[in-house]
Amino acid sequence: MSDDSVDQSRADSRIPADGLDTYLRCPRQYEFAHVYGLERDDDAVDERVDLLRRSICAALESGETDAEALGEVARTRLSSLWEDHDERFHSRAQRRHERNVLEATLEAYVSRVGADHAAGIDVLASTADVDGALVGPDRTLSSRVSASPPAAPSEPSSSADANRESGSRTVSRCEPRSVAIEASVDYVYGEGSSIVGVRFVPTLAPLGPLRYRSEWDGDVAALFEDHFDPDAAAFEPGPVGALLETAVVLEGLRTLRDRLGLEGRTCRFVVIPLADRSGTSVNWVSESVETSLEIVDLTDVYIDHHTYGMTHEHRNETVETRLETVAAQLVSDGFDPSDRWDDIERTVCPDCAYAVCCQERIATEVRFDG
């Protein structure tokens, strides 16, 4: 692919919200993954999460709201998907154990929130003409933001230009531009006066302290601002990326809300981990598995109460402004990671699937004395 083709593709394409997280971790990694489309090897954990995601969404789409009936639909769908699952295990016992873990996770989901969320979907569907818009998996929500690079004065190209521009400010030839950022939720349901988007994730580890905080003011605001401060020794792409994604999801939910004629409702964003085994216990004698789910609502830790007081919407002016800045950098500034290279080399490179083709990484590994 030529450089011109890459530049045009970058200008025209939509930005995935998870790509923002990748870009914050390492711009070069974003280039390999989202510009050149270099695929990493399939991840077994991601594949198992996808099995659960599809099983749960099938159950929610069935219209069942009773926990027992909902669980039965989900287990039946999982059984069908598992038959075609070709992950390599070292033994039949391991395959049987992993299947038991998935079934226990389904049970934990259904008993914890499944029936309530199914009822919320049913209520929302009866309130508005949703036309299949509520249940995914991977239902796309989009937010369009300004991504114009900073204006720069242009040089007059002729005496006529000079005469036309004399006595007034030179106008930049850089045209304003916006870019669509897309995030995915697996389903949307109604809860009281809110509509809630839910995303299944492998674990909550990338959230860092966000999973333990309930408000923006204080250390969460400081963490976010310090990540972008060149004078602060902070590198927190996981939590920062999650806050940017939350901004995209909430804006996408507001668009969906208005399209469905549900103006006046607030919007929330919830993540549910399906591969976090910290709450899993196994009885190896009976081969039984029990697990629990930690569910995180990212809305409260995202909301800036000053902005909320001004707009009566779940918004955060600081995060939304930074989202525009990051989007503008992504589409116009290239993918040179040198500004944060020390942090990237220390925290990202050791587990990066693209290290073997990264010029910066290779340059640090291969040096010549002399």
Instruction: State whether residue 268 is helix, strand or coil.
Output: strand
Q: Domain range holding 330?
A: 3-32+115-149+178-365
Asked if the structure places residue 44 within a domain, the reply is no
CATH number of domain containing 326: 3.90.320
Question: Does 237 sit behind a cis peptide bond, omega within 30 degrees of 0 on the bond before it?
Answer: no
pLDDT mean over 160-173 = 43
Asked if the structure places residue 370 within a domain, the reply is no
**What pLDDT does 364 receive?**
82
Query: Can you give the pTM of this predicted structure?
Result: 0.86
The b/e string for 7-16 (b: 16+ C-beta within 10 A; e otherwise) is eeebeeeebb
Alpha helices in 209-288 (DSSP H): 219-227, 237-259
pLDDT mean over 135-159 = 72
Give the Cα separation of 12 and 354 in Å (integer): 24
Q: Phi, psi (5° rounding) for residue 185?
A: -120, 160
**Domains in the chain, number:** 1
Residue 362 has pLDDT above 90, yes or no: no
DSSP 137-198: EEEEEEEEEE-PPPP-PPPP-SHHHHHHHTTSPPPP-----EEEEEEEEEEEEEETTEEEEE
Residue 173 has pLDDT above 60, yes or no: no
Asked if the structure places residue 347 within a domain, the reply is yes
Asked if the structure places residue 90 within a domain, the reply is no
The two three-digit tokens of residue 367, written as one number: 């040096």
Q: How far, CA to CA in Å, does 349 sit from each of 134, 240, 298, 365?
A: 38, 19, 28, 11
Asked if the structure places residue 109 within a domain, the reply is no
For 37-73, the pLDDT digits (tens) are: 887 766 899 999 999 999 999 999 999 999 999 999 9
pLDDT band at 159 (very low <50, low <70, confident <90, very high): very low
Asked if the structure places residue 297 within a domain, the reply is yes
Q: Which of 204, 193, 195 lies closest to 117 in space, CA to CA?
A: 195
Asked if the structure places residue 39 within a domain, the reply is no
Average pLDDT value over all residues in the chain: 87
Residue 191 has pLDDT above 60, yes or no: yes
Asked if the structure places residue 281 within a domain, the reply is yes
